[in-house]
Amino acid sequence: LNMSSLTPSQIQQTTELAQKWLSQDKFPQTRARIQSLVEQKDFATLSQILSTRISFGTAGLRGKIEAGYACMNELIVTQTSQGLVKYVESQLGKGSVVIGHDARHKSKIFALLTAQVFLIKGWKVYLFSDIVPTPFVPFAINDLGAQCGIMITASHNPKQDNGYKLYWNNGCQIVSPHDKGISEEIMKNLDIWPEMDVTCSRVHEQVDDPYDRVLKSYMEKIKQYSYVSKDDNPYQENVVFTAMHGVGAKFVTEAFKSFNLPPYIPVEKQITPDPEFPTVQYPNPEEGKGALKLAIEKAEEVNSRLILANDPDSDRLAVAERQHNGEWRIFNGNEIALLLASWVFDNFKKTHSPEEVKKVVMVSSTVSSKILRAMAEKEGFIWEDTLTGFKWIGNKADEYVKKGYNFLFGFEVEIGFVVGDISLDKDGVRVAAVFNEMANHVYSQKNNLSDQLEVLYKRYGYFMMATRYFFCYEDSLMTKIFSQIRKMENDTYPTKIDNYKIKFVRDLTMGYDNSREGNAPVLPVDPTNQMVTFTFEDGSSCTLRNSGTEPKLKWYVEVCADTKEEALKKQEDLVQKMIKTLLNPEENGLVAPKD
């Protein structure tokens, strides 16, 4: 977009938007930025940052830190908080709120502004005085009995981004229609309230700091997920840990202490919080060996065979292990989940009656591996799948907990896991401790984690999933690709992908599922997001969806076979044919990730 591409009427509209912004913005830095662009007559940049408003969805807000309605900045955070407090009061009444923040640029001031808005309305505000991992906010909501919680974080997004994440009174992320109600209230509260002090100079005097209390309570309550005493299992493996320049170092240290585990060996260059993320292009351990390069180098240096990694806000966990042949294997989310699920279930079974075992519940997202379903069928517990996003997993778990069931484990393939019900959002802190203890047990049996996976695959079936994405920067292109898929064969869905015959189609955008009576899906329909799943006659499946927070078209392919070799061969074949047939990246201009 450049000035020559703007019509006179667009320039006029942009000028009016700039004046509107300046009439609302009381924050010197962003005011100066917009004023400067106006003086330079840089209408192209002004149009980009002012013509659309960053939308409040079930994941809250996430975007680039910059002046303007389309971005993350002090005015947007203040307006959002003003609308939010009005909405929560209308739904739950006045009460208390938990507010936390990570170490990203602007996180502290965004948290202070949010706290001040709630203080103005007479709320009790629990504001963490220092950086915390995202899992501390949903935990604190339950622990302190708060109405809601806000975490200022952009998770594993690039360094120029920040975000605003909302949790409801059950400690779970919100689901629709709360996002729509909040958006409406935001638009009714765009003028900064006169009581607001943009410097936030007195906020610390008025809030309650829950940091010490919540830290102590959390570390005490996670001990129930430690199943091995030191006397029973003296084997202790050296583990390398990276916080990926995020907040995790202190909290994983404390979690290991709670489990009587030896201290981890830190990746020094990544262990201290740094909003610039200087050693990684993307601070996302899910990206694979590129993101874990320094951790692998450290593990080689200290002769450790196990690496654990958090993303910057410590709600995800990545795992890598050096194999018997010396090569490194990075486990995907399904593999980590299978190891964790079998560990927590086997230990629960040892100390509970058969009746209690029947009331065990595990939940996973619908794009994650169905191996938990196979495990549930064999072991006699309850499994459910949900839409993608931990908000669905957490809220489904909450339903079961309230009915008296034993929620043990939930996961999504994007390396998000939760063990137990002390909080119901993904948690890379307590899961790091659980995983380390489990790994120690496996190693004490003279096996490694890959060996243990083989044991579990032989028990439950060889489920193999490949998952990746293409960058898709235009919403119109995303819509076009999914429209093509829906009209691929005789103006409707395809009946096969090469030699793979399609048995069922589930389209949660259009509300269609031909595996169900009346073609009506059980999972919630969302016309604002793209998601299509094909189930093949041989039991394999393929799901395509748009990411809700990044410009990505994500794909997931899972196969099941009697042997590992057969599963891997089938997986590779189906992935290639799916990409060529359904996505056609060259013709559609989809951009593959570099590694």
Q: Do the domain assignments include residue 193?
A: yes
Residues 109 and 141 in one domain: yes
Taking only the tens place, the pLDDT of each residue in 312-351 is 999 999 999 999 999 999 999 999 999 999 999 999 999 9
Checking if the pLDDT of 80 tops 50, the result is yes
Residue range(s) defining the domain that contains residue 320? 235-330
465 or 123, higher pLDDT: 123
Residues across the chain: 595
Residues 249 and 301 in one domain: yes
Residues 46 and 114 in one domain: no
Question: How high is the pLDDT of residue 234?
Answer: 65
What six digits make up the tokens of 11? 């320039």
Checking if the pLDDT of 528 tops 80, the result is yes
Residues 376 and 299 in one domain: no
Sequence-ordered strand ranges (E) for 261-327: 265-266, 306-310, 317-322
pTM as predicted: 0.90
pLDDT confidence tier of residue 549, bands split at 50, 70 and 90: confident
Residues 273 and 206 in one domain: no
Average pLDDT over the chain, rounded to whole? 95
Question: How high is the pLDDT of residue 287?
Answer: 84
The predicted model gives 465-478 an average pLDDT of 93
pLDDT confidence tier of residue 293, bands split at 50, 70 and 90: very high
pLDDT confidence tier of residue 2, bands split at 50, 70 and 90: very low
Question: How high is the pLDDT of residue 232?
Answer: 64
Residues 310 and 354 in one domain: no
The predicted model gives 490-504 an average pLDDT of 96
Domain CATH number, residue 258: 3.40.120.10
Q: Looking at the 3D structure of the chain, how many domains does it have?
A: 5
Question: How high is the pLDDT of residue 1?
Answer: 44
C-beta of residue 241 within 8 angstroms of C-beta of residue 431: no
Residues 314 and 340 in one domain: no
Q: Do the domain assignments include residue 266?
A: yes
Q: What is the CA radius of gyration of the chain?
A: 24
Residues 281 and 344 in one domain: no
Q: Do the domain assignments include residue 517?
A: yes
Domain CATH number, residue 489: 3.30.310.50
Q: How far is CA 487 from CA 460, 490, 572, in A?
A: 37, 7, 26
Q: Do the domain assignments include residue 490?
A: yes
Checking if the pLDDT of 290 tops 90, the result is no
The residue from 299, 330, 361 where one domain ends is: 330
Taking only the tens place, the pLDDT of each residue in 24-65 is 999 999 999 999 999 999 999 999 999 999 999 988 999 999
Catalytic residues: 155
* Cα distance between residue 230 and residue 174, in whole Å: 40
Q: What is the DSSP letter of 173?
A: B
Q: Phi-psi bin for 106: left (phi > 0), alpha (psi -120 to 50), beta? A: left
Residues 96 and 155 in one domain: yes
The residue from 378, 398, 426 where one domain ends is: 426
Residues 64 and 201 in one domain: yes
Q: Do the domain assignments include residue 224?
A: no
Residues 134 and 14 in one domain: no
Question: How high is the pLDDT of residue 214?
Answer: 98
Identity of the amino acid at 560: C
Checking if the pLDDT of 521 tops 80, the result is yes
Residues 341 and 478 in one domain: no
The residue from 295, 330, 365 where one domain ends is: 330
* Cα distance between residue 358 and residue 381, in whole Å: 5
Q: Do the domain assignments include residue 360?
A: yes
* Cα distance between residue 230 and residue 208, in whole Å: 37
Cis peptide bond prior to 177, omega within 30° of 0: yes
Checking if the pLDDT of 454 tops 70, the result is yes
Taking only the tens place, the pLDDT of each residue in 209-218 is 999 999 999 9
Task: Give the least confident one: 233-237, 378-382, 522-526.
Answer: 233-237
CA angle in degrees (0–180, nearest 5) for 470-336-379:
120
The predicted model gives 548-564 an average pLDDT of 91
Q: Do the domain assignments include residue 202?
A: yes
Checking if the pLDDT of 422 tops 90, the result is yes
Checking if the pLDDT of 233 tops 60, the result is no
Sequence-ordered strand ranges (E) for 248-354: 265-266, 306-310, 317-322, 328-330
Q: Do the domain assignments include residue 494?
A: yes
| Percent residues over pLDDT 90 in the chain | 90
